[in-house]
Amino acid sequence: MKWNNKYIYPKYSRSNENGLRKYLFGDQKLPSVTAILSATKSEEDKASLELWKKRVGYKEANRIKTEASSRGSSMHSYIEDYLRGRVNESFFESNEQYKNMAKEIIEKGIKGKIDEIYGMEETLYYPEKYAGTADLICKYQGHDVLIDFKQSNRPKKSDYIQDYFLQLGAYTLAHDVVHGTKMKAGIILLCTVDNLFQEFKIEGAELEMYQNLFLGRVKKFYEINNIT
């Protein structure tokens, strides 16, 4: 993969305060994108999540969450190693689930589509508002885009992944504001545990809509926490 270091991404440290992840830039502490989305969920979404936990049992819900998180982290690492040219498997290739999922994303969502890589696992921030970590910032089929890699137990519909789109809105907006860009799209490359690949893209007016919707969530977050 061709790398282009045209953007200088900031270094940071992270902390947890009252259960909220924050990014530290010098003396600035900015709430994370995921913390903002979690804290500003609708009552309907909160009730739905609680209902699911009760249905499967809190212990089982926690097991599912932990397992998914571990699988997702391993899948991300494999994709990153591939993009950095570090994948060098032996003839007797292992058959772990996360690798098979990562390979589906690589084969169907990455190969032959990425022209240049600007950064991976980079911190993006909107001054005095929020910060987060983007999976991949690149030139994709001729356009500057931001990509997130996701895994799931079952196929997704657009209606069920609104938070994913809000994340993309947050990251693309932060990149545009700080680096003076005009990101063309936000893309989700997803694979299920059954190795079903899905691609979701928001661009143009739809991308702008999610950027504005996320700013609304930021405003709500600051109001809830009495931050001026």
- What pLDDT, in 10s, does the model give residues 11-20? 888 888 877 8
| 209 sits in which H/E element | helix 204-224
Q: Check: CB of residue 152 under 8 Å from CB of residue 136.
A: no
Q: DSSP letter for 159, please.
A: G
C-alpha 135/C-alpha 124 separation (Å) is 11
Q: What pTM was estimated for this model as a whole? A: 0.90
pLDDT band at 176 (very low <50, low <70, confident <90, very high): very high
Query: Angle formed by the axes of helices 204-224 and 162-179, to 10°?
Result: 90
**Among 164, 159, 172, 160, which Cα is nearest to 211's?**
172
Q: Is 121 left (phi over 0), alpha (psi -120 to 50) or beta?
A: left
Q: Check: CB of residue 200 under 8 Å from CB of residue 158.
A: yes
| Position with higher pLDDT, 219 vs 66 | 219
Is 142's pLDDT higher than 80? yes
| Position with higher pLDDT, 89 vs 43 | 43
Q: For 72-92, b where at least 16 C-beta lie within 10 A, e where not — what string? A: bebbbebbbebbeeeeeeeee
Average pLDDT over residues 31-56: 86
Average pLDDT over residues 180-185: 96
The first and second tokens of residue 132, run together, are 């987060």
User: So what's the pLDDT on residue 109?
Assistant: 96
Amino acid at 200: F
pLDDT band at 63 (very low <50, low <70, confident <90, very high): confident
Of 50-59, 97-106, 167-176, 210-219, give the lowest mean pLDDT range.
50-59
pLDDT band at 228 (very low <50, low <70, confident <90, very high): low
User: So what's the pLDDT on residue 92?
Assistant: 46
